[in-house]
Chain A
Amino acid sequence: MENGKPRVAVFKFSSCSGCQLAILNLEDELLDLVGAVEIVYFLEARRLPESRPYDITFVEGSVTTQEEVERIIKIREDSGLLISIGSCATAGGVQALKNYKDVNHLIDIVYEHPEFIETLEKSTPISEHVKVDVELWGCPVDKYQILEAVSALLQNRRPNLPEHSLCLECKALGRVCVTVASGIPCLGPITKAGCGAICPSVGRGCYGCFGPSKDMDLDAFIPILRETTSSPKEAVELLRTICGYTPEFEKAAQMILEEEVANE
């Protein structure tokens, strides 16, 4: 602590920078936020050398290289509380789509000189490597959940974060159910709330970017998903968009794939 203010650091791993931008998008709160804490490392915003240790560390991005494996272990050692922000950090993110493909084939497609490329076979969440104290899901993370996490920690309480499914949030907002009314495939019943039900609000199905909700009934959900999708491929791809590498969404995808094999 400096002047009683927690020392805060923000680190980036494999990601699009969008969750760090979500912090900078706290336009109304940013100046108060930086007054309440000491930002000691935030490369996207500030030209300061690393200054260990940290009371609160935010980590954006997933682990995709050996260097990142080693770096996250070091950051964990230097951190009091470690908060992973966004679905790359909590679930492996969109780049976990490579987890279903042969990594050498991917390198060949994209790079002229594959011998220069170093990458791990899988994109993995931070929690697969070190202990994570709080996970803020979303692609991108909801900026008010970041604010809630910091406020809670300043008040020495657990942050109040939604665990229930998107369906509740959708109902609370008075949205018409896209699956019931229009037969549109939607991951809402198995996805964590927190985005404001933005996809059903524009008439499309949820694609699961806030990750799996706490209590889900896959046996009830999978038949509905199959009924509303034109092919098993479509259903599996919907699950494997942003949070496909989570055990719950992967289990759902496997159920569909097994059913397809059984039907053949």
Chain B
Amino acid sequence: MSRSIKVDAIARLEGEGGLIINVKDGKPVEIKLDIYEPPRFFEGFLEGRSYKDVPDITARICGICPVPHQTSATTAIEKAFGIDIPESMYILRKILFLAEFVESHVLHVFMLQAPDLTGHDSVISLAGDAPDKVKAALRMKKIGNEVMKTIGGRSIHPVNLKIGGFYSWTDKQALMDLIPDLEWGLEAITEESRWAATLPFPDFEVDYEYVAVHNKNEYGVVEGDIISSRIGIITEEEFEQNYLEKHVSHSNALHSYNSEDQPYMVGPLARYNLNYAQLGDKAKALAEELGIVPPLNNPFKGLLARAIETLEAFDQIIKLIKAYDPQGSSMVEYEVKAGRGSSATEAPRGLLYHRYTINEDGDVVNAKIVPPTAQNLARMESDLWQLTPQVLQKEHEEATLDCEHLVRSYDPCLSCATHFLKLDIEEIE
């Protein structure tokens, strides 16, 4: 007996894609995440552009995570030029970065994934049942956006970050004025995490290889080495040798595999499981109270890792604003020279890698961008192979929802991922 689970367009994702699962005699025989976002060729049109334009252009890869793209690009080029930035610049970059974590995580937890766990089609219908919860979520999200706007002029594609620093220092008082809101956010996410921990997550565990940024000084997001649960800490350069993107012909998408040809996971669960010890006291206290401690190997529970990371972000932003002490010029002097640099950051949905080669005129010779969703795609398909047999006895609609929910739980960003896609799968079968 054959049947198919088919979702033409999966809702509540960033970007658009579909899902096809063909089943024969109770077993999946074909699983395809069909991502039909058109290719946009960013690496291609960066060729020959001035290094100065790279942060603004790469921001446009993704409206949900422009700051990690800007930060990865900026840091990679600074490494190519041998630029070190002073502490206050690093602090301001980290505040901007963590504010986007708040905005993106709250969006995902409440507006994209929570409807799956509460039986709603959207946050709009969830708001009918739980208006206070949705209002709290919107306010938290707004606070993240306000911090980004204060530093970057706007929250989507902010304009202040540049190679060598910032166009101008953000006024400390303007950030201090946001602290009461941030403190409210800290309380609100604490309460909402308690609610999130009671949600009916599907019973599903996978033995993952996790890969994330690791910074020996802090819970790594803005910069660091790379850590894997399989091979330990490696440098960014070693990352490219060990984790490859493949444009494979049997599927509709290029997938990332480790050097043993196995898929791996990046994202909140990877960070949480690998770097939990570096979370702050408040985050750890709540995680322990709620029993959300590593190992956490259920992809649906990425939501809980996001909730705790949101708390961590609020807590960190408050501390960083207090420590922020802008002095002197907002940009360091540097010399344009030929070179090559790479940088890994943690976008809210996982490790984001940029690498650039620049010539002596400051023009881009070549660029490589590996977004988190590119890395997770192979992993998502593997998870679906494991999940499908477990949900087949359910009603068709419910089984379909479970599979969609799994994809959504990764918070995939298909707009980012498009640069590695092939579009017309049927012709090559």
Contact = CB atoms under 8 A, between A and B. Distances in A.
Contact of B66 (A18, A27, A67): A18
Contact of A19 (B36, B63, B111): B63
A71 to B, nearest CB: 11
A215 interface: no
B156 A140 contact: yes
Nearest to A106: B44
B40 to A, nearest CB: 4
B344 interface: no
Contacts of B122: 45-48
Given A109-B44, A117-B422, A46 B38 contact: no
Interface string A112-156: 110011110001000000000000000110000000000000000
B127 interface: yes
Interface string B2-41: 0000000101111110000000000000000000111111
A241 B66 CA distance: 16
A65 interface: yes
Nearest to A198: B153
Contacts of A34: 124, 127
Contacts of A17: 14-15, 62-64, 413, 415
Nearest to B254: A112
B16 A12 contact: yes
Interface stretch (A202-210, A218-226, A246-254): A202-210
Contacts of B420: 110-111
Contact of A46 (B12, B138, B157): B12
Interface stretch (B139-147, B221-229, B312-320, B348-356): B139-147
A191 interface: no
Interface stretch (A73-81, A92-100, A162-170): A92-100
Nearest to B145: A25
Given A46-B12, A113-B247, A234-B50, A18 B156 contact: yes
Contact of A65 (B43, B57, B423): B423
Nearest to B106: A27
Contact of A112 (B115, B162, B246): B246
Interface residues of B, number: 70
B355 to A, nearest CB: 14
A15 B124 contact: no
B11 A16 contact: no
A55 interface: no
A179 interface: no
B181 interface: no
B64 A97 contact: no
Contacts of A111: 39, 247, 254, 420, 422
Given A31-B134, A34-B124, A16 B62 contact: yes
A133 B30 CA distance: 44
A106 B41 contact: yes
Contacts of B194: none
Given A24-B107, A203-B167, A16 B60 contact: yes
Nearest to A25: B145
B70 interface: no
A16 B61 contact: yes
Contact of A98 (B44, B124, B247): B44
Interface in B223-240: none
B168 interface: yes
Contact of A241 (B13, B53, B166): B53
A116 B133 CA distance: 45
A1 interface: no
Given A105-B44, A106-B44, A14 B57 contact: no
Contacts of B44: 98, 101, 105-107, 109-110
A196 interface: yes
A105 B43 CA distance: 11
B38 A119 contact: yes
B53 A31 contact: no
Contact of A24 (B38, B49, B111, B246): B111
Nearest to B43: A110
B63 A46 contact: no
Given A110-B41, A234-B50, A202 B247 contact: no
Interface of B: 9, 11-16, 36-45, 47, 49-50, 53, 56-57, 60-64, 66, 107, 111, 115, 121-124, 127, 131, 134-135, 138-139, 141-142, 145, 153-157, 159-160, 162, 166-168, 246-247, 249, 254, 366, 404, 413, 415, 419-420, 422-424, 428
Given A44-B11, A95-B40, A95-B41, 17 more contacts: A17-B62, A21-B63, A43-B13, A44-B14, A46-B124, A48-B121, A48-B122, A64-B40, A93-B60, A110-B44, A111-B39, A112-B247, A116-B422, A116-B424, A119-B39, A198-B153, A198-B154
26 contacts: A18-B60, A18-B66, A31-B135, A34-B127, A39-B124, A45-B111, A46-B11, A46-B12, A46-B124, A47-B12, A47-B115, A47-B121, A48-B11, A94-B57, A97-B57, A98-B41, A98-B45, A106-B44, A109-B41, A110-B41, A111-B420, A111-B422, A113-B247, A119-B39, A201-B153, A202-B167
Interface of A: 12-22, 24-25, 27-28, 30-31, 34, 39, 43-48, 64-65, 67-68, 93-95, 97-98, 100-101, 105-107, 109-113, 116-119, 123, 139-140, 195-196, 198-199, 201-204, 207, 209, 233-234, 237, 241-242
